[in-house]
Each structure stands twice: as structure tokens, then as C-alpha cells.
A = this chain, B = another copy of it.
């Protein structure tokens, strides 16, 4: 396989809840900086246009904008400067006024895909509708980008589905609330990112946020893992952009050895995971 070196950036920023103008500037500048540093894939945190800790459904609604709104237009304009692709989380004002916790895949031409988070965490359930469509894998000149958001990382089924659909890298905007772990141990979210990469032989680019918000602290677990599960960059202390050069073509090779294959060795009839209930 021809190597396909792609500089990946995860911009661990500190959005301010409710400050739409400020967050537009902050996220746009983060994309600009990453593109100037040579990044072709730029990942931003979950809900980075709005902040996360809403006090009410009304506040969440006041922070929402459609996918063709000004925040994502700004990302597209910055992406255009470097033929980059941006994957970032936003508070989406959807059709008929329904709110979603979404992630958009954006390039210089505009929005390529919107994914509406299907696993909502805690109080998100008070503000958002869960998405009703599978997470997308977007074919781009950089490679095939799969998308997840935050708590999706707790469902290995999600990343498996993305890998089966051809994803070479999983871009995962996140807002991981901080929780205590054993002394000296890395955050469990980083362990999950490593396992996700190894189990599916895909690169994983997690972009977390930082900066306390209404009493919530964040893990700050932005990392890039290679297709073997090893951390190649991150996490930073506080705000900062994680940069890693990834040969995404390596994720196409699913052979562990001459007899074993990451995906083909699955035995889906023997896992007892229940029959899908939706349409194919």
C-alpha cells in the first residue's frame, strides 16, 4: 500500500457555555492554527460551538444553529486554506426545531456529513433528541473518516461498525467529565481509545475539551492512537493542539498474520447480540 501520511490535529480548547460569538472565533482560530501547522484532519471537541453544561432546554436552544450556520461556515473557510477536513461537535438546530448533539465533517466546500449522536449521556437527554442514523464514514482525499461523539466510545459496537464500513480513522469529538481514578493511572477514556484502535486496526483521534464549566471539570483526554493502539500524541496539559503524522493507509491492512484478519475472523452468529431491529 502507498503510504498516505496525514497530519492529524486535535484542538483541545476551552469553549464558554452560551458565548456563541466567542466560540465561533475560538473554534475558527483553532482550525486556522492547526491548518497552518500542516494538519489535514482537524478534530474539535463535542458541542464546541455552544459549551456543554446547559442550565435549561431554553439555553440549549438559544445555543443551537443549523449545519449551514455561521460556525460551520467559518470552519469550512479555514479548511479551504489547506485542503483540510474538520470534524467538530456542534449544538444542532435540526429540522422542525429539534435539537441534536451533532458532529459535522466539513471541508472547504462545506458540510460533507452530519452525525447526530446516538448515545446521549446524562443531562444531554433533557436537551437533545438521540440520532436515528448510523454514524457515517466519509470518503475524503485524506482517507475514510469515521465519526463518533464522546459516550459512543463506550460502545465498541460503534467503532466496529465504522471499521466494517471502511473507516481508516475514527474522529471523536468529546467532552469527558472528569472522574477519579487510581493514582498514576491514565484516564480510562485514553485506555478505551487505545483499545478501540487496536481492536479495529484504525487510527483514533479523540478531541476532548478543557476549562471548568459550571463546576464540571474535564478529563482533557485528547489523543491520537495509531492502528496498533499505541498513543502517538497527547494528551496535552490544559489547552493545546495535539499533532500527529499518521499513515492512514496502514489501517487498510487488517491482517494480523497470514491466517488471521481483524474483521474477517468475527463470528457474528455466535455473539448473542440480538438481531438488529431497524432497516438494513
Contact = CB atoms under 8 A, between A and B. Distances in A.
Interface of A: 118-119, 121-123, 125, 130-135, 151, 154-158, 160-161, 164-165, 181-182, 185, 188, 191-192, 194-196, 198-199, 228-231, 256-257, 259-260, 262, 265-278, 280
Given A118-B270, A161-B271, 16 more contacts: A119-B265, A122-B259, A134-B271, A134-B272, A135-B270, A154-B198, A154-B265, A155-B266, A156-B157, A156-B195, A164-B272, A191-B198, A194-B195, A268-B274, A269-B276, A275-B280
Contacts of A134: 270-272
Contacts of A164: 272-274
A52 to B, nearest CB: 15
Contact of A268 (B195, B259, B276): B276
B160 A157 contact: yes
A260 B122 contact: yes
A188 B181 contact: no
Contacts of A280: 275
Contacts of A195: 156, 191-192, 194-196
A195 to B, nearest CB: 4
Contacts of A266: 155, 157
A192 B181 contact: no
Contacts of A199: 154-156, 192
A188 B192 contact: no
A118 B276 contact: no
A251 to B, nearest CB: 16
Contacts of A118: 267, 270
18 contacts: A118-B270, A119-B265, A119-B267, A121-B259, A122-B256, A133-B270, A151-B265, A154-B265, A157-B271, A161-B271, A185-B230, A188-B230, A191-B229, A192-B198, A192-B199, A195-B196, A268-B276, A271-B276
Contacts of A131: 270
Given A154-B199, A155-B266, A259-B125, A273 B161 contact: yes
A52 B65 CA distance: 59
Contact of A229 (B188, B268, B275): B188
The 9 closest A-B pairs by CB, nearest first: A269-B278, A156-B156, A195-B195, A161-B271, A157-B271, A161-B272, A269-B277, A269-B276, A134-B270
